[in-house]
Chains A and B, each alone.
Chain A
Amino acid sequence: MNHLSTPNRWNFPDLGLGLGLRPVHFKYILENWPAVDWFEILSENYMDTEGRPAYVLSQIAERYPVVMHGVSLSIASTDPVDFEYLRKLKALAERVNAKWLGDHVCWTGVAGRNGHDLYPIPYNEKTLADLIERIRIVQDYLVRPLILENASTYLSFANSTLPEEEFLRRMAEEANCGLLLDVNNVYVSCRNHDLDPWAYLEGIPYDRVVQVHLAGHTDMGTHCIDTHDGRVIDPVWELYAHVLRRSGSRATLLEWDANIPPFPEAHAELLKAQQYRHTVEAAGVSSHA
């Protein structure tokens, strides 16, 4: 299996196992300094505050590696790039010494509005070319690669001509950006679009994958919603194990955004990932190979 191991091309480190930083856990973290490897923050929650979130983040950034993950970059919007947003994003990244920063392959609004959701785009040559151009503009401004995540989607377009994984591969290669592979989103989107997640994972360029996301979702029977409100289901763990076999160990993060349990419970769910990482490491597959 060693030959399948693929280090990421920027040599971003495998940070280990991280948790999404959520205000409900602030007190626990400050009182216990738990043995979690790193934290991921929702960028927008810290860009405009000098209150308690900023104070807590400064304490955490002194002790743990921090990664920034946004939800409002709107990289696939047809609106002009919001440089004021980027200025604040860049300033925050410098302030917390972010290991990397990213967002989603989506748009969140147009005509100056924000729907605060991750909306899909058609996957075709035209949208790919436009998206690559915008990613380059943003990366030039930020002077660092963007690490972009596959979003969960609930509809698909008739004018899509490329499978999502091929769209992501070409986007990452041609814009020279990184990928945040959300394994739960792969499962959710494939369920929603009647696709095979295993085939999807075969199309991912693992040398571009810097980080992996895990989360729970809600199965509505007719479709799945990416709710981040519970444990990771077994089929998603199986997909995660496959990703590790292909990529080697990657910085892995558990997202939990609704019905958030006490910190130790969320941490225990995250630590389940350790067994998959150990298996891969025992097999000699390492991102630093």
Chain B
Amino acid sequence: MPELDQIERWLQALFTDSDGIMAGLQHGDACKILPYTKENIENLVQPSKQLSSLERLSIYRNMYFSRLIEVMAEEFPTVQHLLGKERFGTIVTDYVSRYPSTHYSLTRLGCGFPAYLADDAIDLPEREFAAAIAMVERAMEDVFDAPLVEPIHVEVLEAIPIKRWGDIHLQTIPALRLMQLQYPVNPYITAVREKHETKVPRPAPAYIAVYRHNYRVWRVDLDAQRFALLSALQRGERLGAALELCAAIPGVDAVELTGEIGAWFQEWAKTGLFCEAKLDT
């Protein structure tokens, strides 16, 4: 009789075999642990009055994939909508087979899904669009659980003398993700989540911020300047340097930019995007 360690490894290999119990027993990782014979199986797993040993093993195997597909569908409803239930199920089955969960929480299951769609799902015609959606939906999950820090108020920014603004380091909150994408996915995600008719958009540059404010998760489209500015601040650049990067974007008028940024910062501070303002000494 095998030791418990062998039994657990054998069962895990069977329960997580995407080709099914029988294939797993005969050709999968499980048969490397315990060679397949009918006697071997029945000497380990007892049949019940109603079910054979194989049928009993299949219960766990079927629940494994159905549970993980359900969890992924909750996290990536727009990707599921795009692909359809059946193809989504096939893709998730492949994803969890290649990248099985190693974390105690199911909230981490989808961490690698955007990269999987972009890099591994090579037979998927819509993979670039699907990966872009998945990035945003995963970011929503990330900011939902991100560390809580107290945002600074508008008054804190207003109290800084204008001549010192170039020297400010504005730290963005941990619950902020900024993404540059090749598709305008945000309206598509909104339409799908609100159950409206929509079509797959044509590729076009898109800039999105996903953040948490008052325990709610928000998605907003940004223009290239706002994205460049916020990204530079998130990287730790001084505001002066961040503005220089922003002004260097082709087509940006530095004078117009100077006139607009006050309103941007008012808006961002109101939505709690910054948690610290430090002046270079």
State in angstroms the CA–CA spacing of A49 and B11 once bound together. Answer: 32
B53, B107, B145: the one within 8 Å of A50 (CB)? B145
Across the interface, which residues of B come within 8 angstroms of A119, CB to CB?
8, 11-12, 15, 60
Interface flag for A139 (CB, 8 Å) = no
Of A121-129, A168-176, A233-241, A259-267, which binds chain B?
A121-129
Beta-carbon contact of A122 and B101 below 8 Å: no
Interface string of B40-84 (1 = CB under 8 A from A): 001111101111010111011001100110010000000000000
Asked if A114 meets B107 with Cβ closer than 8 Å, knowing A109-B12, A155-B53, A193-B48, the reply is no
Beta-carbon contact of A51 and B67 below 8 Å: no
Interface flag for A110 (CB, 8 Å) = yes
Across the interface, which residues of B come within 8 angstroms of A122, CB to CB?
4, 7
Asked if A107 meets B8 with Cβ closer than 8 Å, knowing A51-B148, A117-B67, the reply is yes
Interface flag for B196 (CB, 8 Å) = no
Beta-carbon contact of A48 and B48 below 8 Å: no
Interface centre among A111, A121, A155 (most CB of B within 10 A): A155
Interface flag for B100 (CB, 8 Å) = yes
State in angstroms the CA–CA spacing of A26 and B107 once bound together. Answer: 18
Interface string of A194-234 (1 = CB under 8 A from B): 10000000000000000000000000011101000000000
Across the interface, which residues of B come within 8 angstroms of A155, CB to CB?
45-46, 53, 56-57, 59-60
Across the interface, which residues of B come within 8 angstroms of A108, CB to CB?
104
Beta-carbon contact of A158 and B50 below 8 Å: no
B4, B12, B42, B49: the one within 8 Å of A158 (CB)? B42
B4, B7, B104: the one within 8 Å of A85 (CB)? B104
Across the interface, which residues of A come within 8 angstroms of B101, CB to CB?
109, 113-116
Asked if A116 meets B46 with Cβ closer than 8 Å, knowing A52-B215, A78-B8, the reply is no
Across the interface, which residues of A come within 8 angstroms of B147, CB to CB?
50
Q: How far is the CB of A184 from chain B (nearest CB, A)?
A: 17
Across the interface, which residues of B come within 8 angstroms of A45, CB to CB?
105, 107
Q: How far is the CB of A31 from chain B (nearest CB, A)?
A: 15
State in angstroms the CA–CA spacing of A116 and B15 once bound together. Answer: 11
Across the interface, which residues of A come within 8 angstroms of B46, CB to CB?
155-158
Across the interface, which residues of B come within 8 angstroms of A154, CB to CB?
56, 59-60
Beta-carbon contact of B145 and A48 below 8 Å: yes
Across the interface, which residues of B come within 8 angstroms of A225, CB to CB?
59, 63
Asked if A222 meets B53 with Cβ closer than 8 Å, knowing A52-B144, A109-B12, A155-B59, the reply is no
Across the interface, which residues of A come within 8 angstroms of B145, CB to CB?
48-51, 53
Interface flag for B9 (CB, 8 Å) = yes
Interface size of B in residues (CB-CB distance below 8 Å): 49
Interface flag for B5 (CB, 8 Å) = yes
Q: How far is the CB of B141 from chain A (nearest CB, A)?
A: 10
State in angstroms the CA–CA spacing of A170 and B4 once bound together. Answer: 19
Q: How far is the CB of B13 from chain A (nearest CB, A)?
A: 9
Chain A, residue nearest B42 (CB)? A158
Interface string of B96-133 (1 = CB under 8 A from A): 00001111111101000000000000000000000000
State in angstroms the CA–CA spacing of A192 and B5 once bound together. Answer: 25
Interface flag for A130 (CB, 8 Å) = yes
Chain A, residue nearest B70 (CB)? A258
Beta-carbon contact of B44 and A156 below 8 Å: no
Q: How far is the CB of A75 from chain B (nearest CB, A)?
A: 13
Interface string of B1-41 (1 = CB under 8 A from A): 10011011101100110000000000000000000000000
Beta-carbon contact of A115 and B16 below 8 Å: yes
Interface flag for B212 (CB, 8 Å) = yes
State in angstroms the CA–CA spacing of A108 and B100 once bound together. Answer: 13
Chain A, residue nearest B175 (CB)? A51
Across the interface, which residues of B come within 8 angstroms of A117, CB to CB?
15, 60, 63-64, 67
Across the interface, which residues of B come within 8 angstroms of A127, CB to CB?
4
Interface flag for B248 (CB, 8 Å) = no
Across the interface, which residues of A come within 8 angstroms of B68, CB to CB?
116
Q: How far is the CB of A263 from chain B (nearest CB, A)?
A: 19
Across the interface, which residues of A come within 8 angstroms of B50, CB to CB?
221-223
Beta-carbon contact of B8 and A110 below 8 Å: yes
Across the interface, which residues of A come within 8 angstroms of B48, CB to CB?
156, 192-194, 223
State in angstroms the CA–CA spacing of A51 and B175 once bound together. Answer: 9
State in angstroms the CA–CA spacing of A85 and B44 once bound together. Answer: 31
Interface flag for A159 (CB, 8 Å) = yes
Across the interface, which residues of B come within 8 angstroms of A121, CB to CB?
4, 7-8
Instruction: Provide 20 A-B residue pairs closer than 8 Å at the C-beta atoms, listed in order of the A residue.
Output: A44-B104, A44-B105, A50-B146, A50-B148, A51-B144, A52-B215, A77-B8, A109-B101, A114-B104, A116-B101, A122-B7, A154-B60, A155-B46, A155-B57, A155-B59, A158-B42, A159-B44, A193-B48, A194-B48, A222-B50
Mark A residues whose CB is within 8 Å of B: 44-45, 47-55, 72, 77-78, 82, 85, 107-117, 119, 121-122, 126-127, 130, 154-159, 192-194, 221-223, 225
Extra contacts besides A72-B104, A114-B101, A225-B63 (4): CB < 8 Å: A51-B148, A52-B216, A111-B9, A154-B59
Q: Which A-B residue pairs are the 9 nearest by beta carbons? A: A72-B104, A50-B148, A155-B56, A49-B145, A222-B50, A52-B215, A78-B5, A110-B8, A154-B59
